[in-house]
Structures are given as structure tokens and as C-alpha cells.
């Protein structure tokens, strides 16, 4: 196990990048800025280590980062309709940073804050503890919030992300990580031929503004049925309204059936890489980078549509305005905790 730290100067800011390395050579690089995962080196079927996430070539590009590459997202990941919610009869407004709605916690949010970072090393794992305090009223969110995120890499090529939070007032909170996975290695291909399997029989219907309508829809007989596995490109060619709403792909919250330990599996047969997702979260936003800005200068190439797969495990902001959705409400002094493990392996 190894931990490396590097100081990075970006404009007038001093950042740090920590690289966790396990005994297999798998490596995960993380910035204290936004808790951003900038690189993950994972083996293919021949043991060749290549990068499997989208990341910028120039660190300064993370100051803008319109796609939220690799970043921790919060206080509320996803969209809050009208940027408005009520708690005990009091109305709160958060920034309408996407049209009439609120997206991904606003600015700076978790993704553009500098987190306090403490690396740690144990016999069989190496990791990074990130902490952040978000003041009452920041971006309109109520309550002084203390957040802790632990990134941990072990020798089974498992990268765990464990989130904890507590606030001194009732508030809303659901955090996630916004990495764009691409198992081809060094972004050789897009993700259209990645095979995806999800332990989910229901997903949340969206309107044209990608806001939940309040309906939960069965996946049966649609391109949203990933229970047996299917190639991501089925969502590109699908004429099903919800694939069209997402601009020819997926950008939807899937509710997990929790019928098995592994909630999601992604495979790239060309490289032989496989990614399994194990989580305590009730669902996941699967986003297939349908709206990824093109032409961004990434480490290996320029960005194009469908270059990365986001698996944003989280609760659902739809619960703010609708009953029957996995809740993002957090009571005063209630402990928020969430854990997702990404297991990098090869297809048996």
C-alpha cells in the first residue's frame, strides 16, 4: 500500500492531490478541491493498468467543470424543482442554477469547496478522510452541516466512498460522487458497448426539464430494464419517450430492488474490465453523458457524448415534493451516513 501527495497550484489556489496505490498497482487520485477523483488506474483482463474515469488534462479546468467530473456532489445531488422547499412551514430557496431549478447543490457546493484532507494507511487499506463545514444558509440550505467523506482503497481493488453528515437544524442532504466511468481504458472508446446490469425494476419518470413528475415507472418492456444486462446503446437508439427526454440515453433515478448484494454491474468485453457497485443507497442516477459538453481537453483526448457512465448512488430529491420516494430529509442532529463500494475486476 502506498500514499502519495502532491501540491498543485491552480491560479492563486493551493490544492493537494493524493494518490492511493494498492499492492496490485491499482491507483486512485483525489483532489482536496471538490474531493474530485481525477484518475483511477485499473487492470484489464491482461493486467494492463489504464485510466477508467474522465479527467481533465489541465487542473485549472476543474474550476469550471460543467460536467462535475469526478466530484463530490451536495448538499443535494440532483435537481430540486423550483429551487424551493419547506421545512416546518418555513420556505427555503436554493439557487436556480439550471433554468428554474436547482442542480447539484449550487455553487460552490461540495464540488468546488476545498475539503480538509487527512490521508491514512492501514495494513490492508489506504485512504483519505475529507471534511467540510457548510454554514447555515450557505446556498440557502438550512443548518450548520459537518460532512466527512472517507475514500478507501484495499487490495481487492475495492474503492469505497463513505459519507457522514450531521446538522444542527432539520435540512435536506443526499451526497454522491459524480465520476464518469469508461472501462475501455484511457478513453479508447465511448461507453455505448458497455453492458450494464441493474438490480432495479422501477425508475423515476422525468419531464422535459429532467424534473421528476412524481411517477415511478416499471422497467418492463422498456430500454430501462437492465435486470438481465443490456448494452448502454439501447438507450441511444430507443424511441421510448423517457430516453428521448434524456436526449437519447439515460439520466434517470433507478430504485434498487435490493434483491442481491451487487446493485449494478458494468462490463466492457473488449478490455475484459468489470465494475461492480455495492451500496446501502436506495437508488442510483444513471447518466450516460448524453449532454457531455464536447471538445473539452481531457487527459487522453477531447470529450464527446457518451464518453462516460455516471452511477450516482443517492436518495431522491423528488422526495422533497412527492411522497413515496427515498427521502433526502435529515432531522436536527440526525446522523446521515451512506456508503458505496466500486469493485474493479475482470470478466470471469
Give the residue numbers of the binding site.
178-180, 251
312 is catalytic: yes
With binding defined as CB under 6 A, does residue 249 bind ligand G6D? no
Name which of residues 259 to 288 contact ligand G6D (CB under 6 A): 287
Which three-class secondary structure string do you get for the chain?
CEEEEEEEEECCEEEEEEEEECCCCCEEEEECECCCEEEEEEECCCCCEEECECCECCHHHHHCCCCCCCCEECCECCEEHHHEEEECCEEEECCCCECCEEECCCCCCHHHCECEEEEEECCCEEEEEEEEEECCCHHHCCCCEEEEEEEEEECCCEEEEEEEEEECCCEECECEECCEECCCCCCCCCCCCCEEEECCCEEEEECCCCCEEEEEEECCCCCCCCCCCEECCHHHHCCCHHHHHCCCCCEEEEECCCCCCCCEEEEECCCCEEEEEEECCCEEEEECCCCCCCCCEECCCECCCCCCEEEEEECCHHHHCCCCCCCCEECCCCCEEEEEEEEEEECC
Rounded-to-integer distance, Cα 281 and Cα 339, Å? 7
Q: How far is the CB of 292 from ligand G6D (least distance, A)?
A: 7
111 is catalytic: no
Pick the closer one to ligand G6D by CB: 176 or 271: 176
Pick the closer one to ligand G6D by CB: 30 or 292: 292
Pick the closer one to ligand G6D by CB: 15 or 287: 287
Rounded-to-integer distance, Cα 323 and Cα 313, Å? 20
Instruction: Give 59-66's long-range contacts (Cβ < 8 A, gap of 24+).
Output: 59/8, 59/10, 59/15, 59/31, 60/10, 60/11, 61/296, 61/297, 62/10, 62/31, 62/33, 62/34, 62/36, 62/38, 63/10, 63/11, 63/112, 65/34, 65/36, 65/111, 65/112, 66/293
Q: How far is the CB of 15 from ligand G6D (least distance, A)?
A: 21
Q: How far is the CB of 247 from ligand G6D (least distance, A)?
A: 8
The contact pattern for ligand G6D, residues 162-201, with x = CB under 6 A and - = no contact, is: ----------------------------------------
Options 102, 111, 178, 252, the catalytic residue:
178
Q: How far is the CB of 141 from ligand G6D (least distance, A)?
A: 19
Selected binder of ligand G6D within 161, 210, 309, 311 (CB under 6 A): 210
Q: How far is the CB of 207 from ligand G6D (least distance, A)?
A: 12
With binding defined as CB under 6 A, does residue 327 bind ligand G6D? no
With binding defined as CB under 6 A, does residue 70 bind ligand G6D? no
- The number of residues that bind ligand G6D (CB under 6 A) is 6
Selected binder of ligand G6D within 15, 18, 33, 68 (CB under 6 A): 68
With binding defined as CB under 6 A, does residue 56 bind ligand G6D? no
With binding defined as CB under 6 A, does residue 203 bind ligand G6D? no
With binding defined as CB under 6 A, does residue 251 bind ligand G6D? yes
Pick the closer one to ligand G6D by CB: 19 or 238: 238
With binding defined as CB under 6 A, does residue 250 bind ligand G6D? no
Binding site for beta-D-galactose, residues? 178-180, 251
Q: How far is the CB of 161 from ligand G6D (least distance, A)?
A: 17
Options 138, 195, 274, 312, the catalytic residue:
312
The contact pattern for ligand G6D, residues 130-169, with x = CB under 6 A and - = no contact, is: ----------------------------------------
CB 145 within 8 A of CB 166: yes
Selected binder of ligand G6D within 119, 291, 322, 346 (CB under 6 A): 291
Residues that bind ligand G6D (CB under 6 A): 67-68, 210, 251, 287, 291
Task: Cite the active site residues.
Answer: 178, 312
Amino acid at each position: 500500500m502506498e500514499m502519495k501527495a502532491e501540491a498543485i497550484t491552480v491560479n492563486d489556489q493551493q490544492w493537494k492531490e493524493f494518490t492511493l496505490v494498492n499492492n496490485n498497482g491499482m491507483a486512485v487520485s483525489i483532489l482536496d478541491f471538490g474531493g474530485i477523483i481525477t484518475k483511477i488506474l485499473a487492470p484489464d483482463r491482461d493486467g494492463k493498468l489504464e485510466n477508467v474515469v474522465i479527467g481533465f488534462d489541465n487542473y485549472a479546468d476543474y474550476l469550471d467543470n460543467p460536467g462535475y467530473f469526478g466530484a463530490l456532489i451536495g448538499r443535494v445531488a440532483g435537481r430540486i424543482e423550483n429551487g424551493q422547499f419547506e421545512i416546518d412551514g418555513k420556505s427555503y430557496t436554493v439557487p436556480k442554477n439550471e433554468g428554474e431549478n436547482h442542480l447539484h447543490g449550487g455553487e460552490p457546493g461540495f464540488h468546488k469547496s476545498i475539503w480538509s484532507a487527512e490521508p491514512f494507511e492501514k495494513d490492508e487499506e489506504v485512504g483519505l478522510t475529507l471534511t467540510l463545514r457548510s454554514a447555515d444558509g450557505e446556498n440557502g440550505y438550512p443548518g450548520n452541516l459537518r460532512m466527512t467523506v472517507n475514500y478507501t482503497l484495499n487490495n481487492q481493488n475495492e474503492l469505497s466512498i463513505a459519507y457522514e453528515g450531521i446538522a444542527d437544524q432539520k435540512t435536506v442532504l443526499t451526497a454522491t460522487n459524480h465520476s464518469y466511468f469508461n472501462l475501455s481504458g484511457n478513453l479508447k472508446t465511448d461507453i455505448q458497448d458497455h453492458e450494464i446490469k441493474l438490480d432495479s425494476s422501477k425508475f423515476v419518470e422525468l419531464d422535459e426539464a429532467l424534473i421528476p413528475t412524481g411517477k415511478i415507472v416499471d422497467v418492463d418492456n422498456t430500454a430501462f430494464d437492465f435486470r438481465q444486462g443490456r448494452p448502454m446503446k439501447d438507450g441511444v437508439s430507443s424511441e421510448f419517450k423517457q430516453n428521448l427526454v434524456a436526449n437519447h440515453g439515460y439520466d434517470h433515478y433507478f430504485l434498487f430492488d435490493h434483491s442481491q448484494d451487487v446493485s449494478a454491474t458494468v462490463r466492457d468485453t473488449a478490455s475484459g474490465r468489470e465494475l461492480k457497485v455495492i451500496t446501502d443507497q436506495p437508488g442510483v442516477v444513471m447518466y450516460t453523458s448524453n449532454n457531455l459538453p464536447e471538445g473539452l481537453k481531457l487527459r487522453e483526448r477531447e470529450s464527446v457524448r457518451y464518453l462516460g457512465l455516471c452511477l450516482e448512488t443517492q436518495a431522491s430529491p423528488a422526495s422533497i415534493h412527492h411522497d413515496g420516494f427515498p427521502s433526502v430529509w435529515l432531522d436536527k442532529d440526525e446522523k446521515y451516513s451512506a456508503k458505496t463500494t466500486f469493485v474493479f475486476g475482470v470478466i470471469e
